[in-house]
Amino acid sequence: MKNLFIFTVPVSIVLSPQNVIYQYKASQFAKLYALEGTWEMREKRGTYEVWKIINEIYLEGSGFKVAGNDTIWNEQIALKYADGTITYVPKVLGQNDENGISFKLTGIRDNVFVFENKKHDFPKRIVYKIMNDKMIATVSGKTKGGNRKIVYSFTKIK
Q: Determine the pLDDT at residue 12.
A: 45
Strand 37-41 to 146-156 pairing: antiparallel
Q: Determine the pLDDT at residue 146.
A: 92
Write out pLDDT tens, residues 82-122: 888 999 999 999 888 889 999 999 999 999 999 999 999 99
What's phi and psi for 28, nearest 5 deg? -65, -40
Write out pLDDT tens, residues 7-57: 544 544 455 555 555 565 667 899 999 999 999 998 888 999 999 999 999
Distance of alpha carbon 115 from alpha carbon 8, whole angstroms:
49
State the DSSP code for 144.
Answer: T
How far does CA 5 lie from the centroid of its chain? 53
Rg (CA), the chain: 21
For residue 107, the SS3 value is strand
Burial of 89 (0-12, 13-18, 19+ CB in 10 A): middle
CA proximity to 152, closest of 75, 54, 52: 75
Q: Determine the pLDDT at residue 69.
A: 92
pTM (predicted TM-score): 0.83
With bands split at pLDDT 50, 70 and 90, how would you rate the model's confidence at 129? very high
Q: Is 26 left (phi over 0), alpha (psi -120 to 50) or beta?
A: alpha
Omega prior to 123 cis, within 30 of 0: yes
